[in-house]
Amino acid sequence: MTTVHSKGPSMARARDLSANGSNVMLANVAETWLAATAEWQRELIDFVSSRLEKDAETGRAIMACKNLADVTAIQSRWVQDTLRDYSGEMSRLMTICAAAGNAGTVTKQ
């Protein structure tokens, strides 16, 4: 019975190195994903808090109105502000996603 050892150890070593590289890459991706998720959540909490405060201020202003024209003006301003705020928030959230995606990009040499 003859055993051939010509390429066995080097192939096993290559597989081990490849698995280690994959594990490191997986750990980096997981770390990036967790950091982006935490930043996303902080951003959403800040946004919701800010919007709730603005909505409460608008409600108080409407309750203090003496005529319909003032109510309409306040509601119009609220709609414009709300649309601008939500648009800005979507831009910030997309920036977080893009940054996380770019951080996970690996260039081959």
56 lies in a domain?
yes
50 lies in a domain?
yes
Taking 50 as the pLDDT cut, the residues of the chain under it are 106-109
Name, in order, each residue with C-beta under 8 angstroms of 81's C-beta and a sequence gap of 6 or more.
54
What gap in Å lies between CA 47 and CA 91, rounded to an integer?
12
When divided into structural domains, the chain yields a total of: 1
98 lies in a domain?
yes
The rounded mean pLDDT for the chain is 84
Q: 2-16, pLDDT tens digit by residue? A: 555 555 556 555 555
Which pTM was predicted? 0.69
Crossing angle between the packed helical segments 68-103 and 8-63, to the nearest 10 degrees: 170
The pLDDT of residue 108: 41
Domain extent, residue 67, equals 33-103
